[in-house]
Structure 1
Amino acid sequence: MNVLQLPLGPLQTNCYILSNDMNEAVIFDPGEEAHVIFNVIEENKLKPLAILLTHAHFDHIGAVDDVRDEYNIPVYIHKYEADWLTDGQKNGSELFMRNQSIFAREADHLIEKEGKMEIGPFLFSIFETPGHSPGSVSFYCKEIKTVFSGDALFEGSIGRTDLPGGDHEQLIRSIKGKLLSLPDDVVVCSGHGETTTIGDEKRYNPFL
């Protein structure tokens, strides 16, 4: 399998594209600049199967509808943020984007709880990792020892908790109880910045 990291938009929010040897792909957090995503998919001759959202803050959802409509694929999000896609106040765009709100249509599928998720040939373990936002989830692909953590855990840092629905203590519990329970060599694909590993964050992250 292959993971492509695309930092998009003014906040350089990471969109990830996970693909296999058959060129099938899933797309995580298409936050902005849909044309960049389209170009990468075309260049690599990929066949997208779904959009998976780690959470619904505006910088992670700005290109959702463009990508969904281009490839006619479903969108998945946790049930606790089902209405954030259509609400500029909840997704933060009204707070940060002057005179502009960012929306997406409702998701096609709601993630109800932790457990296994199959998208075509892709198998993920879903961890509920709230704290940055109430419906934050992380997608762990055991086959490639990689977790897509959204804005829960970063290289040497953690997600901010001063936005609506944020909870610092809850985020620390999520990270320590869910993410840090993974093997040390698991790669962490964060919502911003560079990738890291579980082992490095255990050893060097000053917040943990």
Structure 2
Amino acid sequence: MEWKQIPLGPLQTNCYLFFNEEKQCLVFDPGGENVRLIDYIEGEGFQPLAVLLTHAHFDHIGAVEDVRKRWDIPVYIHQEEREWLMDPALNGSARHPMAPVSGSPADHHIQEEGKLTIGPFEMEIFETPGHSPGSVSYYFKSMDTVLSGDALFNGGIGRTDLLGGDHDTLIQSIHHKLFVLPEHTVVLPGHGFSTTIGNEIESNPYV
């Protein structure tokens, strides 16, 4: 299995495609630029199986509707943010100089931590709130890789001054859910460059 990072939209939010030799793929956080993203997926010959969201801020969900409709695939989101896909006031797009982002409800609402299997892909879900109440991270043990959304960045952490954010909760999430992973685990954040758990334990000034 491999992955591809594609920064999308005005905030350059990282969309990740996880794919196998058969070119089946999962789409994580399709944040915008729907035409560019769909063209890339089709150009590579990928067959998406699902859209998975680390959280539902507007810059992570801007292309969800177009991707799900193009391939008729389900969308996964934590139940704490089940209304955010439909409500620009909740997902934050109403407060920005852009077209409001809204769409249909997700098909699957994540209710607890645990293993998730979609086709040939197996992962673990960690609840990592703090940046937003329904933030989750997806851990691929077989690849020593975790998608941290906007919880943990290379040298930084997510902001906590938005709706439902809480700094203490975020710090607890990072320490209790992410920093317990093997130090060689690759961290794929919602913005910026990848890092490792070990690098962040050693040098991240915010934690």
TM-score (norm 2): 0.98
- 1:124 corresponds in structure 2 to 123
Structure 2 gaps of 5+ residues are none
AA aligned to 2:185 is V
Q: How large is the RMSD of aligned CA atoms in angstroms?
A: 0.8
Could you tell me how far apart the structure 1 residues matched to 2:109 and 2:151 are? 20
- 1:101 corresponds in structure 2 to 100
Could you tell me how far apart the structure 2 residues matched to 1:143 and 1:97 are? 41
AA aligned to 1:71 is W
Could you tell me how far apart the structure 2 residues matched to 1:45 and 1:141 are? 23
User: SS at 2:32's partner residue?
Assistant: coil
Write the deviation string for residues 13-60 of structure 1: whole angstroms up to 9, x where unpaired: 000000011111000000101112112212221110000000000000
- 1:149 corresponds in structure 2 to 148
CA contact (8 A) 1:30 1:60 kept: yes
- 2:167 corresponds in structure 1 to 168
Q: Percent identity?
A: 57
User: Structure 1: which 4+ aligned runs deviate by more than 4 Å?
Assistant: none
User: SS at 2:183's partner residue?
Assistant: coil
- Counterparts in 2 of 1:11-160, with a 5 A limit? 11-97=11-97, 100-160=99-159
Of stretches 35-44 and 81-90 in structure 1, the one that deviates more from structure 2 is 35-44
- 2:198 corresponds in structure 1 to 199
Structure 1 gaps of 5+ residues are none
Write the deviation string for residues 87-120 of structure 1: whole angstroms up to 9, x where unpaired: 111101111235x311121001100100000010
CA contact (8 A) 1:61 1:104 kept: no
User: SS at 1:56's partner residue?
Assistant: coil
